[in-house]
């Protein structure tokens, strides 16, 4: 694993401990109406909560709609590694989340959101 490389889930049926803690878990609707505000929740990770303590914590995550950055959330060790955002979209996109752990680097996940 290189710190210069964005990690992601390699095999959903055989997750490593690092993947269980770090891959952003995205909760969002599959489809929305154009321009309608909807909620997206991002949590690190899914099966195992990522530690949030001095020396090891999730520093931030960025959300991209396609190639456009639409949000950035910064954490301190005082936070839980989870946030809910309100977004609106004009067209169907791949919503991508990239998070950064100060020890384990960048991790990403993505989901498609259809706009009707």
Binding site for Fe ion (CB under 5 A): 101, 103-104
Q: What is the closest distance, in whole angstroms, from the C-beta atom of residue 116 to Fe ion in the complex?
A: 38
Between 17 and 103, name the residue whose CB sits nearer to Fe ion. 103
CB burial of 48-70 (b: ≥16 within 10 Å; e: otherwise) equals: eebebeeeebbeebbbbbeeeeb
Return the residue nearest Fe ion (CB atom).
Answer: 101
Between 88 and 104, name the residue whose CB sits nearer to Fe ion. 104
Q: Which two tokens stand for residue 62?
A: 């960025």
Q: What is the closest distance, in whole angstroms, from the C-beta atom of residue 87 to Fe ion in the complex?
A: 26
Q: What is the closest distance, in whole angstroms, from the C-beta atom of residue 42 to Fe ion in the complex?
A: 15
Between 79 and 103, name the residue whose CB sits nearer to Fe ion. 103
Q: Where are the beta strands (DSSP E) in 1-116?
A: 25-27, 31-32, 38-43, 58-65, 68-74, 82-87, 93-101, 105-115
Between 6 and 37, name the residue whose CB sits nearer to Fe ion. 6
| Residue among 107, 108, 112 nearest 94 (CA) | 112
SS3 state of residue 47: coil
């Amino acid at each position: 694993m290189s710190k210069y490389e964005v990690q992601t889930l390699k095999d959903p049926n055989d997750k490593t401990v690092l993947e269980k803690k770090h891959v952003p878990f995205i909760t969002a609707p599959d489809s929305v109406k154009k321009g309608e505000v909807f909620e997206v929740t991002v949590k690190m990770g899914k099966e195992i909560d990522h530690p949030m303590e001095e020396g090891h914590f999730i520093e931030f995550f960025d959300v991209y709609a396609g190639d456009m950055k639409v949000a950035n959330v910064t954490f301190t060790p005082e936070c839980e590694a989870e946030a809910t955002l309100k977004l609106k979209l004009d067209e169907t996109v791949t919503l991508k989340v990239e998070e950064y752990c100060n020890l384990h680097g960048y991790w990403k996940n993505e989901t498609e959101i259809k706009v009707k």
